[in-house]
């Protein structure tokens, strides 16, 4: 009888970053690794003794080299993939300063809300897109 270990659980702060033209910043995951090549909303794992807002601000600075203001909470999603369970805590954010750079991703792009359907996102991100579309109606 084998005992299966539980899948790891990661708590992730996710940023929906808006610019002054009402566009959203998305990034493409590096080709190697889990879900490689898919598009996503930037963010990352929360560290010990860090609020979700601090996590989002830090991750965006590390991954994209820009400063943001973390705004209101949009949605929290619990999703289980075969290899991983994630809790995505998503906040609206506003681009304040700096030019986004693909530091830890393959590519970045500013897109309009109605263009998000043209990109392939990980399964859990679909709920974020739906929440965004519903909040703008």
Domain CATH code at residue 56: 3.90.79.10
Please tell me whether 28 is known to bind a ligand: no
User: What is the domain range of residue 87?
Assistant: 17-135
Number of domains within the chain: 1
Which three-class secondary structure state does DSSP give residue 40?
strand
CA 136 to chain centre: 19
Which three-class secondary structure state does DSSP give residue 106?
coil
**50 in any annotated domain:** yes
Please tell me whether 72 is known to bind a ligand: no
Burial class (CB in 10 A: 0-12, 13-18, 19+), 59: buried
Whether the pTM exceeds 0.85: the reply is yes
Please tell me whether 6 is known to bind a ligand: no
Please tell me whether 36 is known to bind a ligand: no
d(CA 137, CA 133): 7
- The predicted-structure confidence for 101-130, as pLDDT tens digits, reads as follows 999 999 999 999 999 999 999 999 999 999
Identify whether the C-beta of residue 7 lies closer than 8 Å to the C-beta of residue 85: yes
**8 in any annotated domain:** no
- The predicted-structure confidence for 52-65, as pLDDT tens digits, reads as follows 999 999 999 999 99
**113 in any annotated domain:** yes
**10 in any annotated domain:** no
Please tell me whether 114 is known to bind a ligand: no
**11 in any annotated domain:** no
Say yes or no to pLDDT of 40 above 70: yes
pLDDT band at 137 (very low <50, low <70, confident <90, very high): low
**5 in any annotated domain:** no
């Amino acid at each position: 009888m084998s005992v299966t270990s539980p899948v790891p659980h990661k708590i992730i702060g996710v940023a929906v970053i808006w610019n002054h033209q009402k566009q959203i910043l998305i990034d493409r995951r590096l080709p190697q690794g889990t879900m490689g090549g898919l598009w996503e909303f930037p963010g990352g794992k929360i560290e010990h003794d860090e609020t979700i807002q601090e996590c989002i601000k830090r991750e965006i600075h590390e991954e994209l080299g820009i400063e943001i203001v973390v705004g209101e909470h949009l949605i929290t999603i619990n999703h289980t993939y075969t290899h991983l369970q994630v809790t995505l805590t998503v906040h609206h954010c506003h681009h304040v300063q700096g030019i986004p750079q693909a530091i830890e991703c393959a590519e970045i792009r500013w897109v309009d809300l109605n263009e998000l359907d043209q990109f392939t996102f990980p399964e859990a991100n679909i709920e974020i897109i739906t929440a965004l579309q519903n909040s703008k109606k």
